[in-house]
Amino acid sequence: MSKTRVFYEAEKARQTALIKDGFFGSSENGNGNFKGKPYPFVLQQGNKVFTNLYEPIRDNALAYFRENKIDWWAGKLPTGHVLSSQIACVNYLMAIRKDPVAVLALINGVRNQFKEVLPIPCDTDESYIAFEAVSKSDHLNEDGPTRGSNCTSVDALVYAIDIKGEKWIIPIEWKYTESYDDCKSSDKSNEGITYKKETNPKKKPKGEVRLDRYSNLIKKSKQLRSVPTFVNGDDYDLQGSIYFYEPFYQLMRQTLWAEQMIEHKDTEDIKADHYLHLHIIPSQDTDLLDKKYRPSKGNNMEDTWRACIVDQSKYVIVDPQQFISPVKDMYPDLWDYLSKRYFI
C-alpha cells in the first residue's frame, strides 16, 4: 500500500508499548515469529501460554475452537500477533458467550427490538455467540463448509427472537487494524487471469472459480445490487467489479450467506426469518473507513457498500467499545482488560 496506515501504525506502537510494559506477562518481550520473521508486536507465547488471549477465557477459547473443529487464523493455535482481529473478537465476546442476558443486552444496544437470544445449534455446547459460524449445507458453491477456513465463515453469530416473535441471525464481521488495497492486482475476480496467471491448463484460474461461485447468486440477490448506485447506466460487469475487492468481497459473501440461510431455513439447523449484518470497526480506523476506493469512483468504505445494497437497515457499522458497553457493569473485569488493551 502506498499510503501510510495511520491507525495501524498507531496501534502497532501502542501494543508494542504494552508488551514492553509487561501487560502480556513479565517474561513476554515480543519478537515472536510471524510468517517466518520476528516482529516486536508478535508475542513469543512461550510454553503455549497464549497471553494474547484474555486470561480468564484462555482455556475455554482453546477448548471451544478444538471441540468445534475451528481453525485459528493462520494456524491450529491462536496467533501471537497482537493486532489480530480474530483475537480481538474472541477477547471481546468469548467471556459472555454463555450468558443470554449479556448477549441480549449487546444486540439491543445496536437495535432495541429483541426479546430473547437462542442457543446456536452449530456449537457443541449451549452458546449464545458462535465463532466462525458456517451454514450446515454449502449454499455458496464453496466445496463444503469448514469453520474458520476455506469458505465463508462469520466471525461471530447471534441467533435471536424479536418482539414480534420472528427469528433473526446476526452475523458479525470484526475488524481491528485492517485496511485494503484497491490496485488491479487486488481484484479477486481476475486472479489467475490478468495477474498471477494460472499456468496449469487443467486448472481453472482462481478468479474464474470465484465468478462461477458468486455471480449468479449476486444477480439473484434481493439485497445486493447487480448495478451499484455509483455506476452510471445499467451495464456493470461483475468481473473486475467492487464485489471482488476487499473489504467488499467479505461483505458480499456474508450477505449471500445470510440470504441463503434464510432461503433454506427448512433444511438448516438455524432457522431464521431475517438478518442484521454488523460490521465492527474502530471509529478511529480511518485507514479502512476513510479510504477512497478506486473501483467505486472514489467513495469511502461505508458509502461504497451502501451503494451496493438495497435495504440499508440490514447493515450497521458499530465501534467495538460502543458495542461492548451494554455489559460494562455486568463484566467489570472484562471491561477493565479491554479498556487497557484496545480502547483508545
Full DSSP string of 237-275:
-STTSGGGSTTHHHHHHHHHHHHHHHHTTTTSSS--SEE
For residue 2, what pLDDT is reported? 47
- Residue type (1 letter), 126: E
Contact criterion met (CB below 8 Å) for 286 and 6: yes
For residue 198, what pLDDT is reported? 84
For residue 169, what pLDDT is reported? 98
For residue 143, what pLDDT is reported? 79
Distance CA 234, CA 222 (A): 17
For residue 151, what pLDDT is reported? 84
Nearest one of 106, 35, 103, 32 to 320, comparing CA atoms? 106
- Average pLDDT (299-320) is 98
When comparing pLDDT for 200 and 231, which is higher? Answer: 231
- Mean pLDDT, the chain, rounded, equals 94
When comparing pLDDT for 205 and 198, which is higher? Answer: 205
Give residue 328's pLDDT band: very low, low, confident or very high (50, 70, 90).
very high
Grid coordinates in use for 168? Answer: 433473526
155 falls within a domain: yes
Distance CA 285, CA 288 (A): 6
For residue 47, what pLDDT is reported? 64
Query: The pTM is what?
Result: 0.95
Domain range spanning residue 181?
A: 6-341
Distance CA 203, CA 150 (A): 18
Which 3 state secondary structure label does DSSP give 95? helix
Give residue 1's pLDDT band: very low, low, confident or very high (50, 70, 90).
very low
What is the total count of domains within the chain? 1
- As a whole-number percent, the residues of the chain with pLDDT over 90 amount to 84
pLDDT above 50 for 127: yes
260 falls within a domain: yes
1 falls within a domain: no
Give residue 226's pLDDT band: very low, low, confident or very high (50, 70, 90).
very high
Q: How distant, in Å, are the alpha carbons of 62, 225, 271 from that of 187?
A: 35, 19, 34
Distance CA 42, CA 56 (A): 21
Phi, then psi, of 324 in degrees rounded to 5:
-85, -10
Distance CA 66, CA 48 (A): 15
| Burial track 177-191 (b if 16+ CB lie within 10 A, e otherwise) | bbbbebeeebbbbbb
pLDDT digits (tens, 9 = 90+) for 72-101: 987 789 999 999 999 999 999 999 999 999
Distance CA 159, CA 24 (A): 33
Least confident residue range of 57-71, 119-133, 187-201: 187-201
55 falls within a domain: yes
For the chain, strand residue ranges (E) read: 32-34, 37-39, 114-117, 130-133, 154-162, 167-174, 274-275, 277-280, 315-318
Give residue 148's pLDDT band: very low, low, confident or very high (50, 70, 90).
low
Distance CA 85, CA 89 (A): 6
